[in-house]
Amino acid sequence: MRKNIYIRDEDQELFDKAEALGGDNFSAMIAEAVRRFVEVEEAKTAGMAEIELEVGVYYSGTSADDTKKIRFIGKKIADAKALYGSTSSRDDRGTEYTLYLTKKGKILLHREDWSRWQGDDSEASYQVYDSLTEFSASANVPGELVQEAGRAMGGDTAEYLDV
């Protein structure tokens, strides 16, 4: 199939750069851009959006942080915080958990272990699970996180005992 597109004068330089970078794969590049556009727009109609998170180690000292960004299509379905600090308010150290439902129906856990203490590094990580059942069976997280996610997904989070 052949399609012709109109390129505005002000976009000509951008398309020239893309063609130079893509070479023989210019059509594939345009198809990938259109695919991403359709994916994002369809996700919006499903209540989802493109989500960007930062994961890695945040050093307390003078070292540069060792982090990277991850991006996916999904929606937040639950969050929880666990405080375990040493001060009377216990808010000097903690872990924040955020659960996302991805466009492919998987569960993504974003975990941030943080400290306000000088010399203590903080870390953010993620883990992907095939289902909420797999997540609740294998992740060591506050029970309220699983309950909130179950409600958001319209499911029953009670454990069935075959006794």
- Give per-residue pLDDT as tens, 41-56: 776 667 889 999 999 9
pTM strictly above 0.75: no
Tokens matching residue 22: 């893509």
26-45 vs 12-22: helix axis angle to the nearest 10? 110
Measured between alpha carbons, how far is 40 from 50 in angstroms, rounded to an integer? Answer: 7
pLDDT score of 127 more than 70: yes
pLDDT score of 157 more than 70: no
Q: Dihedral (C-alpha) 131, 135, 138, 140: value to the nearest 10 degrees?
A: 180
pLDDT band at 63, cuts 50/70/90? confident
Per-residue pLDDT tens for 133-149?
A: 889 888 788 888 999 99
